[in-house]
Structure 1
Amino acid sequence: MAQTRNRPQREQPSSSIDYDVLPSSQTSATTGQRTTLTVSDPPLRDRPAQEDANNPYLMSTGDHPGVILASPPLTDTNFQQWAHDFNLYVGAKNKTGFLTGTIPQPSSDHHLFDSWSRCNQMVMSWIIHSVSPEIKSSIIYLDSAVAMWTELNTRFNQGNGPRIFDLRTSLISFQQGDDSVSAYFTKLKAIWDKINELRQRTPCTCAAANDSLKLQNL
C-alpha cells in the first residue's frame, strides 16, 4: 500500500497592510477572516509665502489682464456706481492696496520688486479694460495703478451738484405706472441711494448732529 507523503503547506500571504492610522476593516473573500487596513494621511507641509491666500502678491489662475471687473464701463456720468463695483471686485482679489497706495512700490533691488510690478500692471490693466475708450486714452500712459485711481477720483468725483439735481427732478415725475408696489419701491430706493452716494459727507460731532442721528434711528 503506497504511503501518503505529507506535502508541506504553503504559507498564506499576510493580508495585513500596516501604514499608520485610520484603521478600517474588510473581510477576505478567500479566508473569511477580518483584515485590518490602515491608511495614513500625507504629512503636513508648510505652504510657501507665494501660496498664502492672504498674500496680496498672490495671483490666481483666474487673474489675467483682459478681465473686465466693472460693467458697464466708466463714463462721465456713472463714477460712483462704477467705483463701488470696481472696489468690490479688486477687494475680493486682495489687491485694494495697489489702488490706495498702501502697498507702496519697493526699491528696484528689493526681492518683492518683481512681484509688486506684476500685480501693479495687472491692476492697471483691469482699470484700462473697465473704462470707456475716451477715458482710457487719457490714463493709459500713467505708470501705476494708484496714479490712475487718483486721476479718476480727482476728475469724476467732483461736481455732483448737477447730477443730484437731475435725480431729484426725476423723483418729482416718477410714477408707479404698471409696476407692482415692490418694483416701484425698488426703483424709488435706487434713485435715493444714488443721491446719497453723490452727496458729499462732512463729518460732524456736535450735539445737534447726535440729536439728529437719534431721530433718524427712531
Structure 2
Amino acid sequence: MAGDNTSSQNTKPNDTIDHSSPYYLHPSDYPRQVYVNEILNDNNYLDWFQEMENFLFAKNKIGFVDGTFEKPEKSHPNHMAWVRCDAMIKGWLSTTMEKGIRDSVKYAKTAQEI
C-alpha cells in the first residue's frame, strides 16, 4: 500500500557493523596476506616484530596476541567471532615467517601461542 513502511519493519537498527570492534574483519582481509616488509627469519625478529605489532595495532587485533581479548566460552555470543579473528591472525603471522619457523608454530592453538 502507498505509505506502508514494511521495509523499515524488516530492518534491525542494532545490526550495524562496528568498524572499531576488535571482532571486525574487513572484506579485503584474508589469512595469506603479507603485511610486513620482511619474512621472519633467524636474524630479523626485532624488525619483524615492530612491523607486525604496528600492523596488529592498526587492525585493532593486538589484544588477541597479547591476551587482552581472552577466548569467550562456547556459549558466549562472541565465541565464533573470536575464533574467526584468531584464525585470521594466525594466518597473518604464519604467512610472514620462513618455513622453518612456520613449521615450529603451525600447531599452535591460538595467535597468542604463536
Query: How does the TM-score come out when normalised to structure 1?
Result: 0.45
Higher relative contact order (CA 8 A, sep 6+): 2
> Residue in 1 aligned with 2:15?
48
**CA deviation profile, 1:170-218 (whole Å, cap 9, x unmatched):** xxxxxxxxxxxxxxxxxxxxxxxxxxxxxxxxxxxxxxxxxxxxxxxxx
The 2-side partners of 1:48 and 1:134 are apart by 43
Matched, 1:140 2:106: yes
SS at 2:103 equivalent = helix
Shift of 1:71: 2.2
Shift of 1:47: 5.9
The 2-side partners of 1:87 and 1:46 are apart by 35
The 2-side partners of 1:103 and 1:65 are apart by 19
**CA deviation profile, 1:83-107 (whole Å, cap 9, x unmatched):** 0001111111111111101000010
Structure with bigger strand share is 1
Match of 1:88 among 54, 72, 82: 54
1:1-218 matches, within 5 Å, as 48=15, 51-148=17-114
The 1-side partners of 2:52 and 2:28 are apart by 16
Question: Which structure 1 segments of 5+ residues have no match?
Answer: 1-44, 149-218
- Identity among equivalent positions (%) equals 27
> Residue in 2 aligned with 1:5?
none
Aligned residues: 103
Larger Rg: 1
Query: How does the TM-score come out when normalised to structure 2?
Result: 0.85
Q: Which letter maps to 2:23?
A: Y
SS at 1:119 equivalent = helix
